[in-house]
A and B are shown apart, each in its own frame.
Chain A
Amino acid sequence: NAGVTQTPKFQVLKTGQSMTLQCAQDMNHNSMYWYRQDPGMGLRLIYYSASEGTTDKGEVPNGYNVSRLNKREFSLRLESAAPSQTSVYFCASSEFAGGRGDTQYFGPGTRLTVL
């Protein structure tokens, strides 16, 4: 099993350009997440999908959109990139059966620079 995969690994954009970050998991997990990680800020939740067919905003959703394409895939789109979106983006997945919560498994990350 590959676990959680992300593409691309690195990306440089100019201000105003758009791009889509791809994420896929092969663990048959119900829930998927997009985080950004910035120095001194920790992991911040952008959007999540609790189950196939649903998506919800997290802590920092402005400037992003998401699509849960199917149970395996969850993409993150930047419509008009801004320098403030320079960050490392992590996709994660979990089984999430409610209750006490469960382990989130992270992909390798995408390092995005917006010039």
Chain B
Amino acid sequence: QKEVEQNSGPLSVPEGAIASLNCTYSDRGSQSFFWYRQYSGKSPELIMFIYSNGDKEDGRFTAQLNKASQYVSLLIRDSQPSDSATYLCAAYSGGGADGLTFGKGTHLIIQP
């Protein structure tokens, strides 16, 4: 059973600080990783994806991948109250269109 694990939270971070969200995955063959943001009562929307070891930056967001440790993280710099949401990590393990496994998400609260 392929699993993607996230701390459910809530993770509380003061406004302006760096929020760090973590994710581990069980399938060492996972090829690519996605971070989605989901506001309460809304649908998931993609923030960014990563498939190479190291860091990938997009604006205030940085995704970090360490395949040896089977660990993915998302850093949000200069956190804003509008960043308060649930963040879903997903891993693609190949094998077909059904190869994407989602974690249960981390609830992030940015305190003004």
Contacts and interface: CB of A to CB of B under 8 A. Distances in A.
A103 B46 contact: yes
Contacts of A75: none
Interface in B56-109: 88, 92, 94, 96-100, 102-105
Interface in A36-78: 40-43, 45, 48-50, 56, 58
A106 B44 contact: yes
Interface string A90-114: 1000101001110111111100000
Given A100-B32, A100-B92, A101-B32, A106 B43 contact: yes
B100 A101 contact: yes
Interface size class of B (residues with CB under 8 A): 20 to 34
Interface residues of A, number: 25
A58 to B, nearest CB: 6
A25 interface: no
B103 A100 contact: no
Nearest to A50: B97
B43 A107 contact: yes
Interface of B: 8, 31-32, 34, 42-46, 49, 51, 88, 92, 94, 96-100, 102-105
